[in-house]
Amino acid sequence: MHIRLHKVKNNKGKGTMMSGGDQEPGHYYVGIDVGTGSVRAALVDQRGILLAFAERPIKKWEPQFNHHEQSSEDIWAACCHVTKKIVQGIDVHRIRGLGFDATCSLVVLDKQFHPLPVNHEGDSYRNIIMWLDHRAVSQVHRINKTKHDVLQYVGGVMSVEMQAPKLLWLKENLRETCWDKAGHFFDLPDFLSWKATGVTARSLCSLVCKWTYSAEKGWDDSFWKMIGLEDLIGDNYSKIGNLVLPPGTSLGSGLTPEAAKELGLPPGIAVAASLIDAHAGGLGVIGADVRGYGLVCEEQPVTSRLAVICGTSSCHMGISKDPIFVPGVWGPYFSAMVPGFWLNEGGQSVTGKLIDHMVQSHAAFPELQAKATARCQSIYAYLNSHLDLIKKAQPVGFLTVDLHVWPDFHGNRSPLADLTLKGMVTGLTLSQGLDDLAILYLATVQAIAFGTRFIIEAMQTAGHSLSTLFLCGGLSKNPLFVQMHADITGMPVVLSQEVESVLVGAAVLGACASGDFTSVQMELLLFYETFSLKDGGNGENEQSGESCVPKT
């Protein structure tokens, strides 16, 4: 690899939102992001600069294997807590808009909007089936056997992580305690916007990506009848959504007085139709202005970019002017992320969780914890440094020449679309020292990067033309993860200097809903530094937000 180091600042000093005209100074926007394990909030100014940040963990339950549940009441309380934190000491009347993003988990409420149990224990506090829940295996197999036309728009095979199989599971397993009493089934992002405004409208993003809704044709009655959920058709689909709005659309009369009091915000501020969390991250990075950095994508259309949102899972978001059907990759979805563009979404389930699992279950993990603590480092910064020590003169990637990981411990989302696949490690020895843990960690990161390459190759074969990766999310803060993606895909990787791109994407929605900005613009600008790394990072710039642009 030929290394060319360059470090440049974006001299425009712009943020992530562009205006149709000038605004008054001092306007703020709030973005709230509900992830798998925590709720985060940010206060963002009209230049797209993050001014304040707060985070609060949320509860998760796993009553049995592959059953994962949360509480909408717990999540809303966390939203209120973090929002109050970020607005302390500011004039809240300068806040003009609020945007939500969240995981695509299923929220169940009764006809009076009270929580209903999604579990055999009858605990109504646990009223959310999480996105990663795989209880509906039988149901999704039966749905896929129908070969219905709507399946063309989810890569040909529906995922167990989508909402139709979960709804069918509820009908077949919790008929009396949940299904018959249900009045409203929300995707979690839509639940949050309802909670803030009292408006039951659904986001086009959620319904198109996870519920089989068509932006052009609406609901398909024949699908719901074919899979045994014809009761959802009644009252014009009121239980799952009959008012569908593009992300960023202003909802109702804005923030209700009750929600305003709970959040610590003024009543009536604009609240936007929401986004799924990965799509907010894609919105936050895919339109970045990278002119002047010598990147191959500078002279190419935005369709040459692949946004990779990598946290608990990894999502691969590519857009196109015309629909492209990619076997095993979700979509094409029209206007689900960027208005006027078709979206394909590849994915790898629980990538971040897999890395944690491999490291924490190793016999040398206590030693790793102790040594990382002694150096005041995270365990992953320590592992990255340790890999640099043991690699000697060879590139760090060659340490795994005899050790290989197949990363589908939670099934394969893309492009094989096979939830029955299992993980595998080959090349193990009897040694259980810290060196072995570090190399297993490296092999796991490499396996995830090869999974991304596998997805890119499937998208390219189907008609996408991709040249550059734009990464965001928690794993993008790990320089080894970034470098392995650059090396294994052979593509430059661009990172935002603002590492909280998902939150900025949520705030973009609030700004759009406020009317201060004309639309969710394609030319979203970000601060950028580009910086090429040698093979493997040492963990020292884990939080820097720098970019890795290898020259091969």
DSSP string, 227-281: TT-GGGSHHHHTTT-S-EE-TTPBPTTSS-HHHHHHHTS-TT-EEB--EEHHHHH
Cβ-based neighbour number of residue 231 at 10 Å: 13
Cα 285 off chain centre by: 12
Residue 240 is encoded by which pair of tokens? 């799952």
223 Cβ contact partners less than 8 Å away, ≥ 6 residues apart = 146, 148, 149, 150, 212
* Fold of the domain built from segment(s) 6-20+27-275: Nucleotidyltransferase; domain 5 (3.30.420)
pLDDT at 393: 80
CA 99/CA 509 separation, integer angstroms? 5
Domain with CATH 1.20.58.2240 in the chain: 352-449
CA 349/CA 141 separation, integer angstroms? 18
Surface-to-core class of residue 90, CB atoms within 10 Å of its CB (0-12 exposed, 13-18 middle, 19+ buried): middle
- Crossing angle of helices 379-390/434-462, nearest 10°? 100
pLDDT at 159: 95
pLDDT at 323: 97
CA 100/CA 189 separation, integer angstroms? 6
pLDDT at 142: 98
Would you call 345 helix, strand, or coil by DSSP? Answer: strand
Complete DSSP assignment for 358-403: HHHTSTTHHHHHHHHHHTT--HHHHHHHHHHHHSTTS-GGGGGTT-
pLDDT at 25: 52
pTM: 0.87
pLDDT at 500: 87
pLDDT at 519: 62
First to last CA, the chain: 5
pLDDT at 532: 29
The CATH label, of 1.20.58.2240, 3.30.70.20, 3.90.105.10, 1.10.3720.10, for the domain at 352-449 is 1.20.58.2240
pLDDT tens, N- to C-terminus, the chain (552 residues): 222 222 222 222 333 333 334 444 589 999 999 999 999 999 999 888 899 999 999 999 999 999 999 999 999 999 999 999 999 999 999 999 999 999 999 999 999 999 999 999 999 999 999 999 999 999 999 999 999 999 999 999 999 999 999 999 999 999 999 999 999 999 999 999 999 999 999 999 999 999 999 999 999 999 999 999 999 999 999 999 999 999 999 999 999 999 999 999 999 999 999 999 999 999 888 888 888 888 889 889 999 999 999 999 999 999 999 999 999 999 999 999 988 999 999 999 999 999 999 999 999 999 999 999 999 999 999 999 999 999 988 889 899 999 999 999 999 999 999 999 999 999 999 999 999 999 999 999 999 999 999 999 999 999 999 999 999 999 999 999 999 999 999 999 999 877 788 998 999 999 999 998 776 543 343 323 332 222 333 333 333 333 344 433
Domain with CATH 3.30.420.40 in the chain: 6-20+27-275
Question: For residue 245, which of 208, 211, 220 has the smallest C-alpha distance?
Answer: 208
